[in-house]
């Protein structure tokens, strides 16, 4: 069913584009995997971080450092010039890594632990590659295989924005590590959740860095009624004690979630996902720095007045972290669920206020929670995102 939808969406995109782009073969079960290489990108950055515990208004403190950012660079599986030179920079959310963008696994591994789940049914990287785009999915500073600085004073929103800005600057200059060392003409920024908060921050501070921005798992109205107890009720513990074999070297300001119920509620909308994928996702979960959480609460999303390129928000209709309304269907669900409201006037329509001078559009996959990339609608929604890119000339 889903591969059929993907083929249909791809054909639609090619028709609407009305240009010479051939519709790529898109059966995710049989396609060649995208050629991917793990790279390490050195960055040297300075940022004005928040003094913690935060005051109102916040006070700022300058921090600097040189760090290694681990990333996965994937070439397009199909060479559809000029997309070959349009790089998608993919930035994951809290408690994830670069693998969020490739079905919770490494696309270089065909089967077994580490392989992308579900034959690329959940891999944005694979979809983009089939459509002709190279991708760079990073482990954000302090996550995955990237360097882990002080999780309170250093690991905050402002320094993440500087790191991403520097990576994009290198991509345009052709100075990313080989084989990503070519001059990319255009940059598509795609974020998820905290990665989308950073995308908004990037659009505010460096409004020409992204030629197009896709913000997934975001709205202008965070659901604090859900998020504040979720973060604060003691389910996040020092990662080094949660799993000492995996995280023994981490400073105690790096935290991991210990409550499976809380994980399910924040990230998934029952019952529209594969239970085995959710189990894998919990087993593979990553960490979060205290400074990421606290700077997130101290620095709200801002209006990106000077950002004038296209922006597309794609957030699950039932995203517990971003949709403030109670779900009218909640009584049929095993736990309290949330709803972003009507398409024309709801939370995502109102999120346009962050982008007064941009071509703003939004889409809510209807049966999805926060991590819609791991729900049944993922592949169809990858198609929606890439149609939007196509319509916008990328």
| Total residue count of the chain as it appears in this document | 394
Q: 186: which strand partners? A: 86
Using the rule CB under 6 A, give the single segment among 100-108, 119-127, 169-177, 260-268 that binds ligand NAG: 260-268
Using the rule CB under 6 A, give the single segment among 119-127, 182-190, 240-248, 359-367 that binds ligand NAG: 240-248
Which lies closer to ligand NAG via its Cβ, residue 181 or residue 243?
243
Name which of residues 178 to 237 contact ligand NAG (CB under 6 A): 235
**11, 51, 246, 366: which one contacts ligand NAG (CB under 6 A)?**
246
Which lies closer to ligand NAG via its Cβ, residue 57 or residue 234?
234
Residue 262 binds ligand NAG, judged by CB under 6 A: yes
Q: For 19-73, give the DSSP string.
A: SSPPPPP--TTTSPPP-EEEEEEEEEEEEEEEPSS--SSPPEEEEEEEEEEEEEE
Site string for ligand NAG, 303-342 (x = CB under 6 A): ----------------------------------------
**245, 328, 344, 345: which one contacts ligand NAG (CB under 6 A)?**
245
CB of 356 to ligand NAG, least distance (A): 36
Question: What is the C-alpha radius of gyration for the chain, rounded to an integer number of angstroms?
Answer: 19
**b/e code 330-367 from CB counts within 10 Å (16+ = b):** eeeeeeebbbbbeeeebbbbebeebbeebebbbbbbeb
Dist CA 336 CA 59 (whole Å): 37
Which lies closer to ligand NAG via its Cβ, residue 235 or residue 294?
235
Residue 243 binds ligand NAG, judged by CB under 6 A: yes
Residue 259 binds ligand NAG, judged by CB under 6 A: yes
* Contact call for residues 95 and 85 (beta carbons, < 8 A): no
Binding site for ligand NAG (CB under 6 A): 235, 243, 245-246, 259, 261-262, 265
């Amino acid at each position: 069913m889903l591969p059929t939808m993907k083929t249909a969406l791809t054909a639609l995109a090619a028709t609407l584009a009305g240009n010479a782009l051939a519709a790529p073969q898109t059966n995710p079960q049989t396609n060649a995997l995208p050629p991917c290489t793990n790279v390490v990108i050195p960055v040297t950055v300075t940022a004005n971080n928040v003094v913690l515990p935060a005051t109102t208004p916040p006070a700022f403190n300058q921090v600097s450092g040189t760090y290694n950012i681990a990333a996965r660079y994937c070439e397009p599986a199909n060479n559809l010039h000029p997309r070959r030179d349009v790089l998608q920079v993919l930035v994951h959310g809290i408690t994830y890594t670069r693998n969020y963008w490739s079905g919770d696994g490494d696309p270089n591994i065909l089967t077994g632990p580490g392989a992308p789940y579900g034959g690329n049914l959940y891999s944005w990287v694979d979809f983009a590659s089939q459509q002709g785009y190279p991708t760079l999915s990073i482990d954000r500073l302090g996550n995955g295989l990237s360097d882990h600085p002080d999780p309170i004073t250093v690991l905050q929103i402002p320094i993440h924005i500087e790191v991403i800005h520097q990576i994009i600057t290198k991509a345009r200059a052709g100075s990313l590590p080989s084989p990503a060392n070519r001059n990319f003409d255009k940059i598509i920024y795609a974020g998820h959740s905290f990665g989308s908060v950073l995308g908004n921050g990037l659009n505010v501070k460096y409004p020409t860095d992204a030629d197009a921005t896709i913000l997934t798992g975001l709205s202008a109205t965070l659901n604090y009624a859900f998020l504040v107890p979720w973060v604060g009720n003691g389910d996040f513990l020092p990662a080094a004690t949660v799993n000492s074999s995996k995280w023994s070297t981490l400073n105690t300001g790096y935290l991991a979630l210990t409550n499976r119920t809380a994980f399910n509620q924040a990230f998934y909308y029952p019952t529209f996902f594969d239970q085995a994928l959710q189990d894998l996702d919990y087993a593979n979960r990553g960490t979060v720095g205290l400074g990421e959480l606290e700077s997130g609460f101290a620095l709200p999303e801002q209006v990106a007045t000077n950002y004038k390129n296209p922006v597309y928000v794609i957030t699950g209709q039932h995203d517990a972290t971003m949709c403030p309304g109670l779900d009218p269907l909640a009584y049929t669900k095993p736990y309290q669920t949330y709803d972003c409201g009507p398409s024309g006037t709801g939370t995502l329509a109102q999120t346009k206020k962050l982008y007064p001078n941009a071509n703003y559009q939004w889409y809510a996959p209807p049966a999805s929670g926060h991590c819609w990339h791991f729900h049944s609608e993922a592949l169809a929604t990858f198609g929606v995102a890439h149609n939007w890119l196509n319509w916008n000339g990328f």
